[in-house]
Amino acid sequence: MCGGALLRGRRGAVSGRDRRARRSLHPGARAGSRPWPSGLAEQVGRRPTLLRRAQVLAVARTGAATASWTETLVASYVWGQGENGYGAHRLGEILRPAPVEAVLAQATALLAADGAVAGYRRLSGAIAGLGPAFYTKFLYFAGGVVVDAPGPRPLVLDQRIARVLRAYTTRLGEEIGLEEPAKLAAWVWSDGGWTPHRYYMSAPNQCLLTR
């Protein structure tokens, strides 16, 4: 079982340790964004907003306790956005439709009952503008606080992770003598559009890369 989206010791990989604060240019509550997580009130007015993994997990714990997950989506989105200045506008567009909270609650319930892939399947295409690179970050943090969810903890699958897996798959294909292993790896681990089956496949591969 893998403990998270933690690919260690490889170039371009995500650090398994609590990484240095991720940066976001999200303006926070000062600009009237909603719902800014109450647990991150100290970030209001700071530019850029700085978040650590532990802070987002704290927001997720509050979400689990209150059965309300939109703030966890906001926190995980800001954490994952990095220094891109367009993140605040995109997040506003994602939060605009009314059913966002209901979809997140359903995905989390499925995660708790049936595991990470079930949560992934519910979120796939469900919220306009929210792709797998970011809803897997939501699942990652929700999975960190949902008790007794079956299977491995949800992992992040974004373009960066896919490229590490692509390189790994290429090397493996070369070792076993496949024809055109790089082409096969590029098809299996494209930069986006991952199906629930591909997300399921990413878990053991990411775990292998931690060893």
- The burial class, CB within 10 Å (0-12 / 13-18 / 19+), for 48 is buried
Global pTM exceeds 0.75: yes
Q: Residue 98: what residue type? A: A
Average pLDDT over residues 150-167: 93
Residue (of 87, 77, 97) closest to 31 by Cα position: 87
Q: What is the mean pLDDT of the chain?
A: 82
pLDDT score for 122? 98
Please say whether the beta carbons of 22 and 79 come within 8 A.
Answer: yes
In a 3-state reduction of DSSP, which class is residue 200? helix
Residues making up the chain, counted from first to last: 211
Query: Rounded to whole angstroms, what are the CA distances from 25 to 28, 91, 130?
Result: 9, 11, 18
Please say whether the beta carbons of 8 and 210 come within 8 A.
Answer: yes
Q: What is the pLDDT of residues 107-150, one digit of tens each?
A: 999 999 999 999 999 999 999 999 999 999 999 999 999 988 99
